[in-house]
Structures are given as structure tokens and as C-alpha cells.
Amino acid sequence: MKENKKKIQQIAQGAVIAALYVVLTVVFAPISFGAMQVRFAEVLTVLPLFTPAAVPGLFVGCLLGNILGGAVIWDTLFGSLATLLGAVGAYLLRRNRWLAPIPTIVSNAVIVPFVLRCAYGLEIPIPLLAVYVAVGEIVSAYVLGQLLITLLQARMGIFKPKD
């Protein structure tokens, strides 16, 4: 019985995280897509520090956010894969809040520029696109992510990174 309750709780947490990701992506769509983007939903990529349910929640949320945001299929697939890789990396680094956002920044800076170039035909050089994506990820996943971690730990007092 206890095991079922835990599974249900994790499914619910993942669903809430996915829904939040979708809402943040769609509400901020004008800056969530394109060569120079700050996807505010990526702030949620620090949540694997608190629950493993965040990993599938972030992947599903990104997938749905890309679909609802009008992304082409290659962006939907590979952009969601970048978020999944970042979320898994954050979970693996969950004991260090300062390192946990790095996999999200790196996976997006490596994968998304090729998507932007190939799927959307942007004529910007890949290295420059990588810088653009990395800067947006640093703002959303790292800077805002650290603020979210602090808020969850200090203000609410009930959340602590999982060991």
C-alpha cells in the first residue's frame, strides 16, 4: 500500500511539473523559441534535485510545450531530448546545487543549435547559435534555477535535495 502511494505521488509530481513546463513555455512563447531564446520553463530543470519525478515530468512538459508552441517535429524531438538529458544530469548531480544545472545548459547548447540550423534553416553559424542558446540557458536554468532552489529550501522549508 505504501509503495502504491509513493508511485501515485511521483506520477502526480511529474504531471504537475509537466503542466508547469507547458504553461511557462506557451505563455512566454515569444521568447521560448528562436535563435535567441530564454525559455523560462527551463527554470524547472533544477527540480530533479528534489524529486526523481521531475525527470519524466520535464521531458513530457518539453515535448508538449514544443508541440503546442508550434515547433517542427525535429525541434520537438531533439529539443525534448536535450531537456531529458539535462534533467537526468541534474538528477545525477543532485547533491551539488551549483553543478546540477550544468547538464541542461550543455545539452541544450550542443543539440539545439543544430536543430535551429537544420530544422528552421537559420543562417547563423552553429558556434554562434550555441552561444545564444547557452546564454539563454544560463539565465533560465542556472540563475533563475538557483533562485528557485533557494526559494524552495529557505522560504518553504519543506524541500531539501534528495540524496
For the chain, what are the domain ranges?
A: 2-29+39-155
Q: Integer distance in angstroms from the first to the last C-alpha of the chain?
A: 24
Euclidean distance between CA atoms 137 and 83, whole angstroms: 11
The correct answer on CATH 1.10.1760 for the domain covering 2-29+39-155 is yes
The C-alpha atoms of residue 2 and residue 133 are separated, in whole angstroms, by 43
pLDDT at residue 160 in the model: 59
Low-confidence ranges of the chain (pLDDT < 70): 156-163
What pLDDT, on a 0 to 100 scale, did the predictor assign at position 124?
95
Give the pLDDT confidence score for residue 35 in this predicted structure.
Answer: 84
What pLDDT does 1 receive? 73
pLDDT at 45: 97
pTM over 0.85: yes
Q: What is the pLDDT of residue 157?
A: 62
Encoded amino acid at 108, one letter:
N
Q: Which of 50, 60, 49 lies closest to 16, judged by CA?
A: 60
The CB-side HSE value for 84 (13 A sphere, CA atoms) comes to 10
pLDDT at 135: 97
Take residue 3 and report the three cell numbers written for it. 509503495
Q: Between the CA atoms of 139, 50, 27 and 35, what dihedral angle is there, to the nearest 10 degrees? A: 40
- Burial call 76-99: b when 16+ CB within 10 Å, e when fewer: bebbbbbbbbbbbbbbebbeebee
